[in-house]
């Protein structure tokens, strides 16, 4: 089987394979296949310059693919905003206190933009916060949001 692939897979097959992966990437938007497609195109260029066997080409493609995926996870992926609570969604959203919040008790906050699908939430705080005070989310714990005054 490898002997057949050594004779039939040419340099331009790798470039076409890479372009197909890039087109698939444009349809998915995950940036995962971007590295695989670029690695395939690089293998096609290397194979056009110096003729190599299919096993060497496949090894080069795997190495470049692993390097691209590692680079994606290390440098290009957005870091999470926080590790606290269940979600890090929209922690930069501001709101106004509608019911006074005492330390370790609940009050009510209305946010400027929906947070997890709702603009009005029960909230807690570590300090006293009076009605009509602008607040920012500290963390989200299930159905309860902890806020702090800004």
Mean pLDDT across 115-119: 81
The pTM assigned to this predicted structure is: 0.53
Structure token digits, residue 110: 């209305």
Which runs of consecutive H residues, i.e. helices, occur in 29-117?
32-49, 54-71
> By percentage, how much of the chain surpasses pLDDT 70?
91
Domains of the chain: 2-76 (no CATH), 94-149 (2.40.50.140)
Token pair 């693919």: residue: 65
Higher pLDDT: 83 or 16? It is 16
**Range among 63-72, 109-118, 135-144 with highest mean pLDDT value:** 63-72
* pLDDT at res. 81: 55
Nearest CA to 104 out of 83, 123, 131, 80 is that of: 123
pLDDT digits (tens, 9 = 90+) for 83-102: 544 454 567 789 999 999 99
């Amino acid at each position: 089987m490898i002997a057949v692939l050594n004779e039939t897979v040419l340099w331009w097959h790798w470039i076409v394979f890479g372009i197909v992966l890039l087109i698939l990437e444009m349809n998915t938007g995950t940036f995962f296949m971007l590295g695989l497609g670029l690695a395939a195109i690089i293998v096609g260029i290397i194979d056009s310059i110096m003729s190599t066997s299919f096993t060497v080409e496949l090894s080069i493609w795997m190495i470049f693919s692993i390097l691209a995926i590692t680079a994606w996870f290390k440098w290009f992926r957005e870091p999470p905003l926080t590790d606290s609570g269940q979600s890090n969604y929209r922690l930069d959203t501001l709101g106004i206190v509608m019911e006074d919040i005492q330390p370790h008790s609940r009050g009510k906050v209305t946010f400027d933009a929906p947070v997890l699908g709702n603009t009005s939430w029960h909230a807690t705080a570590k300090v006293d916060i009076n009605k009509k005070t602008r607040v920012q989310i500290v963390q989200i714990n299930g159905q309860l949001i902890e806020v702090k005054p800004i």
